[in-house]
Amino acid sequence: MIKAEAKKLGFQDCGIAPAGFLEKNAVHLTGWLNNNMHAGMSYMKGHFDKRTDPAKLVPGARSVISVILNYYQPEVKNDNKIPQISKYAYGRDYHKGVKGKLKKLLEIISECEKTVTGRFFVDSAPVLERAWAARSGLGWIGKNSNLINRKYGSFIFIGELIIDLDLEYDNPAKDYCGNCTKCIDACPTNAIVADRVIDANRCISYHTIENRGEIDNSLKGKMGNWVFGCDICQNICPWNEEVETTIEPDFKPQKEMLEMTGNDWNKLDEKRYNKLFSGTAVKRAGFSGLKRNIAFLEE
Between CA 71 and CA 252 the distance in angstroms is 9
Query: Which residue type is seen at 55?
Result: A
Question: Which residues lie below 8 Å from residue 38, measured CB to CB, with a gap of 6+?
Answer: 32, 44, 45, 200
Number of H helices, E strands in the chain: 12, 10
SS3 205: helix
- Residues shown for the chain: 299
Alpha-helix runs per DSSP H in the chain: 2-8, 23-34, 48-52, 94-112, 129-135, 182-186, 204-205, 232-235, 255-258, 262-266, 270-277, 286-298
Q: For residue 207, what are the CA distances in angstroms to 214, 215, 294?
A: 9, 6, 12
- Catalytic, 123? Answer yes
Nearest to 227 by CA among 17, 85, 118: 85
Q: Of 123, 164, 175, 264, which residue is the catalytic one?
A: 123
Between CA 84 and CA 69 the distance in angstroms is 23
Nearest to 93 by CA among 292, 248, 259: 248
Between CA 254 and CA 281 the distance in angstroms is 13
Between CA 109 and CA 2 the distance in angstroms is 7
Q: How many CA atoms lie within 13 A of 268 on its CB side?
A: 24
Q: Name the residues annotated as catalytic.
A: 123
